[in-house]
Amino acid sequence: MIARLEGNVLYKSPEYAILNVNGVGYQVFIPLSTFYELPEADSPVSLHTYTHLREDVLQLYGFKTMAEKIMFMSLISISGIGPKLAVNILSGIGVAELEQAILSGDISRIISIPGVGKKTAERMVIELRDKIGKKTPESYPATIPVTAENRRLYADAVSALVNLGYKKAAAEAAMAKVERENKGLFSLEELLKQVLKVMSRL
């Protein structure tokens, strides 16, 4: 399997790039996030790659960051998501925002990506939430510092809202919005007030 390519850019487009690696031109399909980071033609570049092999097809998919590649591989492990759709998903949402949407169960944000239906979005949340939740605090994509105390606070707030009759997915989506918009830490009471304000606008 080809896991990394280093060479000069021969051609680039929003769909794919061609890299000259020791005289061989490799066509590499890329998400928009990687396209934006590619240098001009004849400039050197290094991409993390995934080799997709079927009976009649061998395709390379390239990513500027390892985080993109890891998310791509997680996405294609889900039934109904192939490499093309996985690249499309990463073109429509950044890795950090996608992780937040999955963790919070924000189905509406996920299905806003072209090509992703409700059932696919639900599978993404179900199958990837635990995997993403096990990431270390240093790699967690939140604006508020993520500590064990914060996680307990967020979980307590969601639990309280569910006990009040709110749907868990809606509570988690509102919680994610509060996390993104506020860098300060809250008491449970203040956090509940902020989340309820957001839910009233949803």
pLDDT of 57 above 70: yes
pLDDT class of 53 with cuts at 50, 70, 90? confident
Q: Which of 64, 87, 109 is the last residue of a domain?
A: 64
Report the domain count for the chain.
2
Structure-model confidence comparison of residues 149 and 15, the more confident one: 15
Residues in contact with 167: Cβ distance below 8 Å, sequence separation at least 6, in sequence order: none
Surface-to-core class of residue 147, CB atoms within 10 Å of its CB (0-12 exposed, 13-18 middle, 19+ buried) = exposed
pLDDT tens column, 130-171: 888 665 433 433 444 445 556 677 777 788 778 777 778 777
Domain that holds residue 174: 142-202
pLDDT given for residue 176 in this prediction = 75
For the chain, percent of residues with pLDDT exceeding 90: 49
Work out the angle at residue 172's Cα, subtended by the Cα atoms of residues 134 and 34, and round it to the nearest 5 degrees. Answer: 60
For residue 191, is it within any domain?
Answer: yes
- Are 110 and 101 within 8 A, CB to CB? yes
For residue 121, is it within any domain?
Answer: no
Q: Determine the angle formed by the axes of helices 95-104 and 118-133, rounding to 10 degrees.
A: 100
Residue 104 to residue 177: CA distance in whole angstroms: 9
CATH of the domain at 46: 2.40.50.140
